[in-house]
């Protein structure tokens, strides 16, 4: 399968949906936010300031454990995570799942 056709795939190990470009994440986000989902940009604050998906909140990966307990009170709420390559958002998903969040998706942009 070519890279062009492989825009969306499921990674069973982490049960994530990785979308490889910003436009596709925005499209998915626009569908999900209507049902109360939240979109979290787990990149650094500087990266967030340089550009982010409209409606995303910034919780850098390195602050997630602490801030999740304070800011993400509903553990059943759909949470969409994204970063540039999927590495930080994948680790963030694992952290949230260990904290008891059960509706977390990992997205990334290239």
For the chain, the structural domain boundaries read 15-108
In the chain, what percentage of residues exceed pLDDT 90?
Answer: 51
- pLDDT at position 65: 94
- pLDDT at position 85: 82
pTM above 0.95, yes or no: no
CA 61 to chain centre: 11
pLDDT band at 28 (very low <50, low <70, confident <90, very high): confident
The C-alpha atoms of residue 100 and residue 103 are separated, in whole angstroms, by 9
In this structure, CATH architecture of domain 15-108: 3-Layer(aba) Sandwich (3.40)
- Kind and range of the H or E run holding 79: strand 79-83
- pLDDT at position 19: 46
Identify the active-site residue in 16, 18, 32, 83: 83
Is residue 83 among the annotated active site residues? Answer: yes
Q: Is the pLDDT of residue 24 over 80?
A: no
List alpha helices for the chain, DSSP H: 22-32, 45-50, 64-71, 87-98
């Amino acid at each position: 399968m070519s890279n062009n056709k492989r825009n969306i795939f499921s990674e069973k190990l982490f049960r994530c949906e990785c979308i490889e470009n910003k436009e596709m994440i925005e499209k998915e986000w626009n569908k999900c936010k209507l049902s109360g989902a939240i979109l979290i940009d787990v990149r650094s604050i500087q990266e967030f300031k340089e550009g982010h998906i409209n409606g995303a909140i910034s919780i850098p990966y390195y602050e997630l454990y602490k801030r999740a307990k304070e800011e993400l009170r509903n553990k059943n709420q759909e949470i969409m995570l994204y970063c540039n390559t999927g590495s930080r958002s994948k680790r963030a998903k694992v952290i949230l799942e260990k904290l008891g969040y059960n509706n977390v998706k990992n997205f990334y942009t290239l």
